[in-house]
Chain A
């Protein structure tokens, strides 16, 4: 079964600083990888996704993520954080094993981002 680990429960950065949120996955084949963001009291919104091809993926709100197969990682980055980026971020992995497996999605534990002015 696939699994996702986000090693950092809580990260604090200053506004304007760069950001990297870590995500490691466990899955035998090439996974489908996602980053979602959850603002306080809200549902989740997709930031970006990786299916195949270029391993550096651009998303919304200036975020990007890089798929590294050798490290089983899909870290999220942003060069300059804004106060509005404060939220909880979730990495997720989907599997592609045929049949109804396309519906199964496993999320990490989440990383809470605090932004200091």
Chain B
């Protein structure tokens, strides 16, 4: 089944403890992206990747890192999480670029205390 998977689905952590949210797609898509969703703010793009080793900042990249060493994986790294990073995170992928249909993962709900 074609899908985007994220792990973990739920995570509660403490301020400053490094964490990684994994994202994997099995559709051989070139494009992948991370978003955070907050009430009243919609989805805001954190980082995106046009292909392996090609990443760029979205609208809210501060406090996040990403890497794209393999086509299928696009992990989101929070080196020192803070409470303002408590949010619902979505990973998405697309065959070519973000300007085509994006396929979204199920989301990861992160709480930083």
Contact = CB atoms under 8 A, between A and B. Distances in A.
A105 B42 contact: no
Given A9-B40, A94-B99, A104 B58 contact: yes
Interface stretch (A13-21, A40-48, A64-72, A79-87): A40-48
Interface in B19-46: 31, 33, 35, 40-45
Interface in B76-105: 90, 92, 97-99, 101-102, 104-105
A46 B104 CA distance: 10
B54 to A, nearest CB: 7
A100 B40 CA distance: 28
A32 B40 contact: no
A43 B104 contact: yes
- Mostly, the B contact residues are strand
Contact of A102 (B42, B59, B97): B97
Interface of A: 6, 9, 32, 42-46, 49, 51, 90, 92, 94, 96, 100, 102-110
Interface residues of B, number: 28
A108 B97 CA distance: 19
A106 B104 contact: no
Contact of B56 (A6, A44, A100): A100
A103 B31 contact: yes
B66 interface: no
Given A90-B43, A109-B41, A103 B48 contact: yes
- Tell which of A92, A104, A105, A109 has the most Cβ of chain B within 10 Å: A105
A90 B97 CA distance: 19
9 contacts: A43-B104, A44-B104, A45-B104, A49-B101, A94-B98, A103-B50, A103-B98, A109-B40, A109-B42
Given A100-B54, A105-B45, A42 B106 contact: yes
B98 A44 contact: no
